[in-house]
Chain A
Amino acid sequence: MKRKAKERSNAKLAAALLLPSVFLILLLIIYPMLVNVRISFFEQSINPNIDPVFIGLENYISILTDLAFWQSLGITLLYTFLTVAGSTVLGLAIAILFNRPFAFRKVSRSLIIASYVAPTISLVFAWKYMFNSGYGVINYLTVDIFGLFETAPLWFDEPVLSFVIVVIFAIWRYFPYAFISFLAILQTVDRTLYEAAEIDGASAWDKFKVVTLPAIMPVLIIVATLRTIWTFYIFEDVYLLTNQVPVLGIYLYETAFAFNDLGKAAAISVILFVVLFSVIIISRKRVSLNGNG
């Protein structure tokens, strides 16, 4: 009896404590999701004085028959794959490098995450300057010193080169996330496992395959899943660097705020949401097994 009463008062307290968070999330995440679906059936401009017109599935049809959408999807998938693979492998390699005692370890570790925490705009300015075709240091090195290119490439104005740049930028910027995650788990791996493998005559690659990889697997799955989701919705990193790589984030943003078509933009959001939600449902089953659910 007493226990029941306690549980009831617990529930009341929990509700009170959760109220601000749940209210805000409902109001500004869940409700907007629903509004998105509604808007997606209308032709609607940014101007609130122009009344929306119900057009059924027309927005969806226009997106799915738009070559730019499929192109954008392809670019985004390739970008996501290269970026996630690159930054995860690099982060893991550097975490393994760091997984030993050495002088300045703590300082080095803090310095490495600088690119990850700094504002995009600052990093973009620095990259734009470094890769400037007139006086950037990268062109000085690749053209004047090493002669890799005849003339300075226009890194931000040519689609393929711009794609290369945004991928390198993202790998450079986001590998610290994988690095920090892997370093934490590597520190928990029992040293004697490596010693035992060494006695058995294992090579460095064997040790990685037999000891390291199984130990870091849960973290690897989480890192790859979260990074894939966030990278798929990349916007400002690419948007601020170049206008030559139309990833889905930019396609959505420009449909809304450059082409003034909120209805179509909402429909894009809904399509992307469905894609995301399927990924979350699949990944949650795997991620939550590791105590994060």
Chain B
Amino acid sequence: MAMASSKKSKTTKKIFFYIGLLAVLGITLFPFFVMLMTSLKSSAEAISRTPTLLPQEWTLEHYRNVFDPVLFPFMMYFKNSFIVSLTAAAISVLFSIFGAYAVSKLKFKGRATINSGFYTVYMFSGLLLIVPLFRIISGLGLYNTLVALIITMVVQTLPASIFMLKSYFDTIPDDLEEAAMIDGLNRIQIIFYIIIPLSISGIISVFVYAFMIAWNDFLFASIFLSSSEKFTLPIGLTTLFSTPDYVWGQMMAASLLTALPVLILYGLSERFIKGGATEGGVKG
């Protein structure tokens, strides 16, 4: 009898747990669900007084419009975003591998200072730099170029990238390096043949992090870019707000397609990363 009741309370507990879980997921994902469904509804249905959960009439019209360069230069914005994010993430990863190796594995004077310097800069906000960066970028003749954005994104991500990679490198035992040195490898070879392969999941998460920061950036893109053919997605998409009639289907289709690359990248990287210690340390 007692067994049966305890079993029952266990089942009740389980049911409550799954209800709680569904509620959490529902609240987190509902806006994404709305994005998807609205992008598949007709324009009239999207502004009906009684909202529909699922489209009564499914349509791919808005996706066709988004990809039609005559109607909306989505592909161009996408390409610009992609160039900026990929380049910035690649450079950030490369520089942070070098930097993190130095602060993790080499003993030298001033190491602690450099380390705490990176950590302090990590907490800075790019917002405080908009005035001087605008002036410096203009002074260098880089105003309205993607290069301006790439450099800025590299710098904005470097401190956190170095920080994350350092904690991965710290877990690699020094014995491995000493053995490799006895085998005649120099430090640079050690980085490429030993350190990088052993911390590949850390490198992937740094890449994903840097890509995300660059992909999502609105602030610097809005300051540095002035002509439509240079716009990245976050800036390009805001122009949809300026149209007198909100084209919700198209806006939702574009929003979803803009979010997709980072969502996919995170989804994929989760497969590689087994809960690194610094996973939570992403700036945003």
Q: Does A25 contact B (CB under 8 A)?
A: yes
- Interface majority SS (helix, strand, loop, mixed), chain A: helix
Q: Does A181 contact B (CB under 8 A)?
A: yes
Q: Are B284 and A230 in contact (CB under 8 A)?
A: yes
Q: Does A144 contact B (CB under 8 A)?
A: yes
Q: Does B111 contact A (CB under 8 A)?
A: yes
Known contacts A97-B17, A144-B50, A233-B127: does B284 contact A177 (CB below 8 Å)? yes
Which one of A29, A31, A94, A293 contacts B119 once the chains associate, using CB atoms below 8 Å? Answer: A293
Q: Are B47 and A135 in contact (CB under 8 A)?
A: yes
Stretch of A66-74, A115-123, A210-218 with 4 or more beta carbons under 8 angstroms from chain B: A115-123
What residues of B have a CB within 8 angstroms of the CB of A276 in the complex? 123-125, 128
B39-55 vs A: 1/0 string, CB under 8 Å?
A: 00000001111110000
B119-155 vs A: 1/0 string, CB under 8 Å?
A: 1110111011111111110100000000000011011
Q: Does A221 contact B (CB under 8 A)?
A: no
Stretch of B1-9, B27-35, B64-72, B172-180 with 4 or more beta carbons under 8 angstroms from chain A: B27-35
Q: Does B96 contact A (CB under 8 A)?
A: yes
Classify chain A: how many residues form its interface, as a range. Answer: 35 or more
What residues of A have a CB within 8 angstroms of the CB of B47 in the complex? 134-135
* Distance between A247 CB and nearest chain B CB, rounded to angstroms: 10
Q: Are A125 and B116 in contact (CB under 8 A)?
A: no
Known contacts A20-B95, A33-B132: does B25 contact A102 (CB below 8 Å)? no
Q: Are A118 and B259 in contact (CB under 8 A)?
A: yes
Complex: how many Å from CA A39 to CA B130?
Answer: 12
Complex: how many Å from CA A130 to CA B34?
Answer: 8
Complex: how many Å from CA A263 to CA B116?
Answer: 31
Q: Does B58 contact A (CB under 8 A)?
A: no
Complex: how many Å from CA A139 to CA B237?
Answer: 25
Q: Does B212 contact A (CB under 8 A)?
A: yes
Question: Among residues 1 to 23 in chain A, which have CB atoms less than 8 Å away from a CB atom of chain B?
Answer: 7, 10-11, 13-15, 17-18, 20-22
Q: Are B262 and A18 in contact (CB under 8 A)?
A: no
Complex: how many Å from CA A177 to CA B130?
Answer: 26
Complex: how many Å from CA A107 to CA B179?
Answer: 40
* Distance between A47 CB and nearest chain B CB, rounded to angstroms: 11
Given contacts A100-B17, A121-B238, A126-B34, 14 further A-B contacts (CB under 8 A): A21-B96, A24-B158, A35-B136, A36-B132, A114-B28, A114-B32, A117-B262, A119-B215, A119-B218, A126-B31, A184-B275, A230-B125, A256-B130, A284-B120
Between-chain CB contacts (< 8 Å), 7 pairs: A18-B99, A18-B114, A114-B29, A121-B237, A129-B248, A174-B284, A226-B283
A residues engaging B (CB < 8 A)? 7, 10-11, 13-15, 17-18, 20-22, 24-25, 27-33, 35-36, 39, 46, 48, 94, 97, 100, 102, 106, 108, 110-123, 125-127, 129-130, 134-137, 140, 144, 172, 174, 176-177, 180-181, 184, 187, 223, 226, 229-230, 233, 235-236, 240, 249, 252-253, 256-257, 262, 265-266, 269, 272-273, 276, 280, 284, 288, 292-293
B residues engaging A (CB < 8 A)? 17-18, 20-21, 24-25, 27-32, 34-35, 38, 46-51, 95-96, 98-99, 101-103, 106-109, 111, 114-121, 123-125, 127-136, 138, 151-152, 154-155, 158-159, 162, 187, 212, 215-216, 218-219, 222-223, 233-234, 237-238, 240, 248, 251-252, 254-256, 258-259, 262-263, 266-267, 270, 275, 277, 279-280, 282-284
